[in-house]
Amino acid sequence: MIERLNGTFPVAGTERRQTTALETGTFGDLLRHRLESIGVEPQEGGVALSKHAQQRAEERGIEITGDLMARLNDSVGRAQAKGAKNILVFDATRAFIVNVPQSRVITAISQEEMKDNVFTNIDGAVLL
């Protein structure tokens, strides 16, 4: 006879512990919580930062604010209207490479790194 098993069972040698809501939530819940913890209001269907872009922004001292995310989202919308696939979104102090179909920031670049850099594999540019 086969019995249906429900629940979780601890692995031998480990203690059972209480899990938090964040540990049992979906990826979207975890991302939303992380964005809120750094002061970024998530936008439904808006642009998102890849893990690589988040790391680069932190390393390069680029502050990701709600206003910046809104401006990136607007830039992606304008690029979509023109049929662009990969764009450079920039101002005088920072730049971002964005994959338009996925609405995902691929990397973040500081002013220092923009000086002697050549940007390839982009088909559009948007000024912030």
Nearest to 49 by CA among 76, 77, 78: 76
| CA dihedral of 20, 26, 28, 29, whole degrees rounded to 10 | -20
42: pLDDT strictly greater than 80: no
Give the pLDDT of residue 83.
Answer: 95
- Asked if 108 and 82 count as a contact pair (C-beta separation under 8 A), the reply is no
Q: What's the whole-model pTM score?
A: 0.65
**Quick one: pLDDT at residue 108?**
96
Query: What's the rounded Cα separation, in Å, for the pair 44 and 56?
Result: 24
How far is residue 70's CA from residue 55's CA, in Å, rounded to a whole number? 20
SS3 49: strand
pLDDT per residue as tens digits for the range 15-31: 555 555 556 667 666 66
